[in-house]
Amino acid sequence: MRLDLDTIRSADRRIRPYIHRTPVLTSSRLDEASGASLFLKCENFQKIGAFKARGATNAVFLLNDVAAQRGVATHSSGNHGAAVARAAKLRGIPAHIVMPSNSAKVKICAVEGYGAHIVFCEPTEQAREVACADAIAKTGATLIHSFENENVIAGQGTAAVELLEEVPDLDLVMCPVGGGGLLCGTAVAAKSMRPKIKVIAVEPANADDAAQSFRAGRRIVTQKKFTIADGLRTNVGEPNFAIIQRYVDDIMTVSEEAIVSAMRTIWETMKIIIEPSAAVPYAAIQEAKIDVSAKRVGIILTGGNVDLDALPWNL
């Protein structure tokens, strides 16, 4: 996979007309609590409410015209499906989004709102892949995988480029890890722009395949327990793990309680809405899993799509 700062900067120019340059917020109260200077990159304010708009837009606009006309396809129960649907609409091409039949209604509406064709399937990983392969066989659409696609990864890396352009002298950058698309883009961008920076990934203890793999030095696929951070249930991808081994400094895990507590702290302190997955890096700081005192720390807040009728502190 060719993934370097040049491909990420190209992605940045390509997607610029279609995405927000999101703000970087600070909080004196969070700084006091952590002893660090925190810089929060607000991808919860991004188009479709999550960083996923970046990678999907880059991948869709990189297709040549012949392939593009046949459309794009993906399987996703979450933000990536909406991101691909929106990018396809912007390019004026068909999108086939495979979603589990038990997907939240708000997520189905979002994808429908962009005019995509939805294919419902049983809520298993295998059913999703079969339904997606089927749609591709019928239509000739191109698969836009949510984290293994190199153009998606390059697009996700543009958030870190913007963050480091705005705050160049960071000591470390933190983001959550699920499949590894955001982490790989972030790590390559950050280490290329600032070689001395540390890149720290955080994942729920209930879905700790990346941390296990990192320690073992080989990719380990695990059966996942439930985690409130539903965006992070996926196992790290093969190509992603190779990049992680090369560029990431550490991967740590946090408890479910810490994730909910960190999410609530950020809501109450900063008055911004973030989804549970976005709270995972701050949970590691709040739980003192990492010493950030006197450090300048960039954190990518990945998204803000939550069901206000089912907030975790009400469950």
Yes or no: say if 263 and 279 are a contact pair by the CB < 8 Å rule: yes
Report the alpha-carbon distance of residue 226 to residue 114 in Å, rounded: 30
CA distance 116 to 175: 30
**DSSP, residue by residue, 144-183:** --SSS-HHHHHHHTHHHHHHHHHSTT-SEEEEE-SSSHHH
Query: Between residues 65 and 268, which has the closer beta carbon with respect to its own copies?
Result: 268
User: Contact, 14 vs 161, CB < 8 A?
Assistant: no
In the range 201-220, which residues lie near its own copies by CB under 8 A? none
Contact between 115 and 82 (Cβ < 8 Å):
no
277 binds its own copies (CB under 8 A): no
120 touching its own copies, by CB under 8 A: no
**Which residues, numbered 44-73, are part of the site for its own copies (CB under 8 A)?**
44-45, 49
Applying the rule CB under 8 A, the residues between 9 and 48 that interact with its own copies are: 23, 44-45
Least separation in angstroms between CB 44 and its own copies: 5
The DSSP bridge partners found for residue 24 are 41
One residue of 105, 271, 293, 294 binding its own copies per CB under 8 A: 271
Catalytically annotated residues:
52, 77
CB of 83 to its own copies, least distance (A): 16
Q: Does residue 273 interact with its own copies by CB under 8 A?
A: yes
Q: Does 309 bind its own copies (CB under 8 A)?
A: yes
Element (H, E) at 202: strand 198-204
Residues in contact with 48: Cβ distance below 8 Å, sequence separation at least 6, in sequence order: 79, 82, 83, 86, 110, 305
The distance of closest approach from Cβ of residue 303 to its own copies in the complex, given in angstroms and rounded to an integer, is: 9
Task: Assess contact for 252 and 270: CB atoms under 8 A.
Answer: no
The minimum distance between CB 157 and its own copies, in angstroms, equals 22
- Hey, what are 78's tokens? 């979450």
By CB under 8 A, is residue 104 in contact with its own copies?
A: no
268 binds its own copies (CB under 8 A): yes
Please report whether residue 296 would count as binding its own copies according to CB under 8 A: no
Q: Report in angstroms how near the CB of residue 219 gets to its own copies at its nearest.
A: 34
Residue numbers at the binding site for its own copies (CB under 8 A): 23, 44-45, 49, 264, 267-268, 270-274, 304, 308-309, 311, 313-314
